[in-house]
A and B are shown apart, each in its own frame.
Chain A
Amino acid sequence: MLRTHHRLLTAATASLLVLGLAACGGTTKDSSSSNGGPAAQGGASADPNAKSKEGLKIAFLPKQLNNPYSDVETAGGKVAVGEVKGEYKLVGPNDASASSQVSYINTLIQQQQDVIVVAANDPNAVCPSLNQARQAGIKVVSFDSDASKECRDAFINQATTQGIGESLVKMANELAGGEGEIAILSATPNATNQNAWIEVMKKELAKPEYSKLKLVKTAYGNDDDQKSFQEAQGLLQSYPNLKVIVSPTTVGIAAASRYVSSSNYKGKVAITGLGLPNQMREYVKDGTVKKFALWNPADIGYLAAYAGAALASGQITGKQGEKFTAGKLGEYTIGADGEIVLGPPTEFTAQNIDQFDF
């Protein structure tokens, strides 16, 4: 009897404590206010002639370590941090998960960094901690994969989202011979950049000139080599008439190419997307991949570091129209919503692939 009472008491107390959280009335998805909480202090005006600060602690937090693409990006960032005489730090999770990034952001706040350069695994999940960072006086620059615009000061976009999406569809169309089934092998389902590009692709595919192309599936390889490999396998098992696999992630395109080049599908299914020349070289040479695109990731990290340094020195505040100089890349102007675009993508084929080393 007493035993049961103790059980119920514990259960009841626990439930009461939880219900104590609940306010009166229902807070639902539609009625709740925007995420991220109170935004960081804005309102300071830019001073383009402010002296660039030295010794700035600039920390890079890519989507994950163990990713050759991020490695090139952050290497570029390291060079830039050296040029502005700052202190470079690289941290990141081994899995492309947002929760892990939150832990790292917390640690960086504790370590009193000046700038955090982050590629978000989930635009909303990292928001509360990024805003905490901004409240603590840290400048936040997102690159590669954006966070929600309320929680960062500037965003370095590798190329215009529209441009990337268009170029992906164009290449797929060419390789499919103008008609047939295509599939997308993406990274993680929440990645901002992936979803933005896929959105554009879907809009492009709805246009009359691409009416004979059909997108049958979007698979997710989570930027994990093994999973991407298995997803590529699955796509070809489920859709025997697939003509093209488009993979807008360097891990996905590398894994898919590796699978196809050692299977019976070589030559029958085309692979394209965004890839690193060094990883893709052998598949271009052996004919598995005819054409793919990218830009120089090192430049993104480089530009991001300079933008962060400019923010921390007060030369810019992230408003549209402000200008700053980014070392050897020259002068950049901030676009709408704090977006800074690097430049147009490059297409790689067997003809030009040997000119690049990254």
Chain B
Amino acid sequence: MSEVRRRLASWDSIIILLTVLVLVTASFGVPNFGTGRNFTFLVLDLLPILLVALPMTFIIVTGEIDLSVASTLGLTSSLMGWFWNNGLSIELIIPLCVLVGAVLGAFNGFLVTGLGLPSLAVTIGTLALYRGLAFVVLGDGAVADFPWNYTGWVTGTIGGGAVPNVLILIVALALIFGVVLHATPFGRSLFAIGANAQAAHFSGIRVARTKFWLYVVSGAVAGLVGVLWTLRYSSARADNGSGLELAVVAAVLLGGVSIFGGRGSLPGVLAGVVLLAALQNALRLQDVSGQALNIVTGALLVLSVLLPNIATSIRASWHRRRLRQAAAH
């Protein structure tokens, strides 16, 4: 067990180190990267992925997955536009959209825990269903005339300086999720569920209820991100956030969380998100197409699981060789 933890810790450290390295290199090597305004753009770019990755980490640690988050984002964005066009006040719309997200998450939770369906298939289904509903609500068009003091807040900085307003939100939520995962019994129960759900159940953990609430939180956060996304781009569209779920899963796995559940750390995930966003930002400033960056993302994703496997099998074969040598003597 300690060897597993050691291995995990070392992957986390690698990622964090890599992130710091990339940030430092980019600040000196890429012109215009290390400016205050670019910092704001960077934070705004990674806002959706980071926020959605927080509950996603919890879900993957318990051995499940939620691929419908981007569609929840899209549906809440559409609803935001629809509500706005129908005269609701923005103050009412925002909490309403978060609530809608929570309800959508609850539906996922019900299907996974109540009916016992496999989460991969279920969330692929709700991915299609929610995105489809988003198109039904808003069609192909966009709603773009949101009040500028709200869109300005999302894209703006504190007192016109270098710290983006949304950074407060990010830091607060990251702290809350981090503390819950690593320093509370609830967080430990998640690791237990991921390691062995049956054993966890027998030791008194309410597995089904826990998983259900994780999906609710995932939906609510996705709803919140839908609102922030809409305000940031000043554009409510049914196809907002398309493909985001893959970026989030990639970042979470890159951060060292095991897809089988039971292992992972939030600082690693945060580092993974920042690494990918910083790479994309720096390369874009160098006029490298963001799409070409996908090669790196894909490779890093595969390596994040492949390398530890290779390390284990090498260690295992050394161990066997040592045993054979010991037996021969």
Contacts and interface: CB of A to CB of B under 8 A. Distances in A.
Q: Say whether A and B bind each other.
A: yes
Contacts of A22: 90-91, 94-95
B145 A122 contact: no
A19 B152 contact: no
Contacts of A132: 155
Most buried by A among B85, B141, B148, B169: B148
A334 B186 CA distance: 67
Give the most central of A7, A28, A103: most B CB within 10 Å: A28
B144 A35 contact: yes
Interface stretch (B18-26, B109-117, B220-228): B220-228
A32 B147 contact: yes
B175 to A, nearest CB: 10
B84 A29 contact: yes
B210 interface: yes
A29 B146 CA distance: 7
A99 B217 contact: no
Contacts of A23: 91, 149
Contact of A110 (B41, B235, B239): B41
B224 A188 contact: no
Interface stretch (A45-53, A90-98, A240-248, A340-348): A90-98
B235 A30 contact: no
B32 interface: yes
B152 to A, nearest CB: 5
B169 A35 contact: no
B37 A128 contact: no
B281 to A, nearest CB: 8
Interface string A31-49: 0111111000000000000
Contacts of B144: 35, 98, 122-125, 127, 190
B287 A3 contact: no
B89 interface: yes
A128 B88 CA distance: 23
Contacts of B140: 188-189, 220, 222
Interface in B43-74: 45
A125 B235 contact: yes
Contacts of A190: 141-142, 144
B90 A6 contact: no
Given A21-B94, A98-B142, A128 B151 contact: yes
B240 A36 contact: no
A220 B135 CA distance: 14
A14 B88 contact: no
A106 B233 contact: no
B142 A122 contact: yes
A27 interface: yes
B317 interface: no
Contacts of B200: none
A17 interface: yes
Interface string B131-146: 0000000011110111
Q: Could you tell me the dominant secondary structure of chain B's interface residues?
A: helix
Contacts of B221: 14
Interface in B137-176: 139-142, 144-153, 155, 169, 172-173, 176
Interface residues of B, number: 61
B170 to A, nearest CB: 11
B234 A125 contact: yes
A7 B85 CA distance: 33
A208 interface: no
Contact of A21 (B89, B153, B185): B153
A91 B235 CA distance: 21
Nearest to A219: B140
A253 to B, nearest CB: 19
A114 B153 CA distance: 27
Nearest to B214: A7
B180 interface: yes
Contacts of B145: 29, 32, 35, 124
A118 B249 CA distance: 34
Nearest to A109: B37
A262 interface: no
A18 B213 contact: no
Contact of B146 (A35, A99, A103, A111): A35
Contact of B220 (A14, A17, A102, A111): A14
Given A27-B91, A122-B144, A222-B140, A10 B217 contact: yes
A122 B144 CA distance: 8
Contacts of A109: 37
A107 B148 contact: no
A6 B88 contact: no
A112 interface: yes
Interface-central residue, A3, A13, A25, A34, by most chain B CB under 10 Å: A3
A336 interface: no
A30 B177 CA distance: 38
A34 B88 CA distance: 17
Given A22-B90, A37-B148, A99 B240 contact: yes
A306 to B, nearest CB: 24
Given A29-B84, A29-B85, A10 B147 contact: no
Nearest to A13: B176
B309 interface: no
Contacts of A220: 140
Interface in A67-122: 89, 91, 94, 97-99, 102-103, 106-107, 109-112, 122
Interface string B245-286: 000000000000000000000000000000000000000110
B237 interface: yes
Interface of A: 2-3, 6-7, 9-11, 13-15, 17-19, 21-23, 25-30, 32-37, 89, 91, 94, 97-99, 102-103, 106-107, 109-112, 122-125, 127-128, 132, 188-190, 220, 222
10 contacts: A17-B172, A22-B91, A26-B89, A29-B85, A99-B233, A99-B240, A110-B37, A122-B144, A128-B148, A189-B140
Q: Which 3 A-B pairs have the closest CB atoms?
A: A26-B89, A124-B144, A22-B91
Given A34-B148, A122-B235, 4 more contacts: A25-B91, A27-B147, A99-B240, A107-B284
